[in-house]
Chains A and B, each alone.
Chain A
Amino acid sequence: MENNGQKKDRRFIIIDRLYLVMAILPLIVGMVIKVLVTPASEGIEITGARIYFTIPMPLQDLPITESQVNSWLVMLTIFGLCLWLTHGLTERAETKRQLVCEFIVEKTDGLIASNMGEKYFSHFGPFIAAVMSLSALSSLITLIGLYTPTSDMNVVAGWAVVVFVLITYYKNKCGFVHYLKSFANPALLTPLNVISEIATPVSMAFRHYGNILSGSVISVLVASALQGLSKMLLGWLPGVLGDIPFLQIGLPAILSIYFDLFSGLLQAFIFAMLTMLYVSSGFPADDWEKLQAKRLAAKKVKTA
């Protein structure tokens, strides 16, 4: 019996390690790919994602770029983290990681309850957690030198489209006519209402992508400016010393803390918050309740 238990324990540990490897390996793979494809000497240039290969598609060719690959790697990492965190859950919370995953679940549920109300949106937890984790981790992988998918507009636009679909779905809950009527609330402002409806996902996508991209652009600009300054001021130093950009020590690191760490997490949070607010405010809860009551009454009449 004891032997059996030990065996089980060992199996548990092996699976545990596998999950952890699954969480970390994608990031290492990403770094390896980055090292392999990046040319040795690169001037300062501000470009989009690197294209690995292109798949011919109707309408538009599909380039598989760093942003796609890194998104997938991030997803794999999150998947591995999920498996690792939920491995060996017990009712009595015996491990620290269990506290972490309980914390995640309860925090997202609490956030949703306070922003969207508990009545209709209690199942939104996974979606909000997905938005937050994907956005935050995508932004944070610049810290290990990978290209951030969130500084590619297409990635964030995809998320914004999901949010737009959700908003429209919840607005249509009371019927298509009700949805159309909601645009003509003050009849004069109908065009503006339509524009603002379309502007919602566009602004969400542009906000997120613009913040992250501008952060990396500013970082690159400051770094190159400091390199130039360093060359100008300290170029008289003999030999190799003259080539080392000493002034790049310090300031870029602080900027990175702001642009990569803080801004990345903040944008993830803002995107999730806006998602919750737009979806919940788009849902006409009062009319929906009235409609439900009417349907219930009609059903009763029918059965009676």
Chain B
Amino acid sequence: MQTLEVISVNIWQILISLANLVILTLILKKFLYAPVRKMLDARRSTIDAQYADADRAKNDALAAKESYESKLSTAKDEADAIRAEAVADAGRRSDKLLAEAKDKADAIVRRAEEEAELERRKAADDVKREIADVSTALTEKLIGRELGDKDHRELIDSFIDSIDSAEDIGESK
């Protein structure tokens, strides 16, 4: 069988080889690069979508956390305000109660004193009257006759008054 020379140039063979390379390029483009690129693009888009999802979820979580924290801080402030108000209210109320109680007690004491005074006066009047009666009776007995009621009673009363005032002086001493 014939063989070519080691070095031989043939235009048609060159053209065939040229066409071979072009055809192989097209084959590789169509059957290797196109499917692989398509797959890579699909993968990229899925990965991008997943990243976007992750970002969105993260942002949501951050927003939720922020609102939660702000709510928490406002809640604390609110609680502080409420407590302060309550404390102030309680203080005010207790002051008021105390004042009222003091007033009441004072009133009671005053009334009691007034009553005591009244009682004392009454008692003093009673005593005066009785003393007057007794002394009248005594004097009638001693004198043996009835005193002219009006004059004598005045006399006795003035006497008792003098005693009274003397007593008062003694008391104040």
Contacts and interface: CB of A to CB of B under 8 A. Distances in A.
Interface of A: 37, 39, 46-51, 57, 59-60, 62-63, 65, 67-68, 71-72, 75, 78-79, 82-83, 85-86, 89-91, 101-102, 104-105, 125-127, 129-131, 133-134, 149, 152-159, 161-162, 213
Given A62-B10, A131-B21, A153-B7, 8 more contacts: A72-B20, A75-B20, A75-B24, A82-B27, A82-B31, A104-B32, A126-B33, A127-B25
A83 B34 CA distance: 12
Contacts of A159: 17-18, 21
Question: Secondary structure of the A side of the interface?
Answer: helix
B36 A101 contact: yes
B169 interface: no
B13 A65 contact: yes
B46 interface: yes
B22 A154 contact: no
B9 interface: yes
Contact of A126 (B3, B8, B25): B25
Contacts of A62: 10, 12-13, 16
B4 A46 contact: no
Given A72-B20, A91-B43, A134-B21, A82 B14 contact: no
Contact of B13 (A50, A85, A105, A154): A154
Contacts of B22: 162
A153 B18 contact: no
Contacts of A102: 36, 40
Question: Secondary structure of the B side of the interface?
Answer: helix
A47 to B, nearest CB: 4
Interface in B22-48: 22-29, 31-33, 35-37, 39-40, 42-43, 46
Nearest to B17: A158
A82 B6 contact: no
With most chain B CB atoms within 10 A of its CB, the pick from A67, A75, A86 is A86
B14 A161 contact: yes
Contacts of A126: 25-26, 28-29, 32-33
Query: For chain B, which range describes its interface: under 10, 10 to 19, 20 to 34, or 35 or more residues?
Result: 35 or more
12 contacts: A51-B2, A62-B12, A82-B31, A91-B39, A91-B46, A126-B32, A127-B25, A130-B25, A152-B13, A155-B13, A158-B18, A159-B17
B142 interface: no
B10 A60 contact: yes
A78 B42 CA distance: 25
Contact of B9 (A68, A133, A153): A153
B2 to A, nearest CB: 5
